[in-house]
């Protein structure tokens, strides 16, 4: 297996790169929103990206399935983190999501998950209160058990 190099990209996410057996450097940028960018670097200049493909969360999963369902254990600042039964997840709200406030949704009461931040475009709302509105396209950062996260995903339509 190739060695994977991880680089934290402040304000963006995390990039993972590796060198293929054929000498091509390939990478994936994992954005906090869940979006992925697949990168292929130039063989003459290993710091220059020759081609990139922007992938939605679903498209990235499809590519992973095509490649054999490879799993990467993601680190803090990425899509998911588990620490002794604690899960931290970044959940992108679908366009079909009906806007509601955190309080009206009663998400913590109904699922056990605390919503600790909302990412809206290039803006982050840390520690949102019950009056904060959740909108389609927002990325909800939740903390709870794996089981409670599953309940929240179902409730949010993810």
Q: How far apart are CA 15 and CA 110, in angstroms?
A: 35
pLDDT at 17 over 90: yes
Helices (H), 9-145: 57-66, 102-105, 107-111
Nearest Cα residue to 155 out of 30, 71, 144: 144
Give the angle 105-124-132 at the CA atoms, nearest 5°.
25
Q: Supply the pTM of this predicted model.
A: 0.51
Structure confidence by residue, pLDDT tens digits, 119-137: 988 788 989 999 999 999 9
Structure confidence by residue, pLDDT tens digits, 38-73: 999 998 887 889 999 999 888 887 887 777 644 443
Q: How far apart are CA 141 and CA 126, in angstroms?
A: 9
Structure confidence by residue, pLDDT tens digits, 66-94: 776 444 434 444 444 446 667 888 899 99
């Amino acid at each position: 297996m190739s060695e994977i190099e991880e680089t934290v990209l402040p304000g963006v996410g995390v990039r993972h790169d590796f060198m293929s057996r054929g000498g091509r450097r390939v990478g994936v940028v994992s954005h906090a929103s869940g979006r992925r960018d697949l990168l292929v670097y130039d063989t003459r200049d290993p710091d220059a990206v020759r081609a990139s493909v922007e992938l939605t969360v679903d498209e990235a999963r499809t590519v992973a399935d095509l490649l054999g369902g490879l799993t990467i254990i993601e680190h803090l600042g990425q899509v998911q983190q588990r620490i002794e039964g604690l899960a931290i997840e970044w959940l992108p709200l679908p366009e079909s999501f009906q806007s509601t406030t955190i309080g009206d949704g009663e998400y913590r009461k109904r699922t056990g998950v605390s919503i600790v931040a909302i990412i809206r475009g290039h803006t982050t709302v840390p520690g949102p209160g019950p009056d904060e509105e959740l909108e389609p396209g927002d990325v909800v950062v939740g903390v709870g058990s794996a089981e409670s996260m599953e309940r929240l995903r179902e409730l949010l339509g993810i």
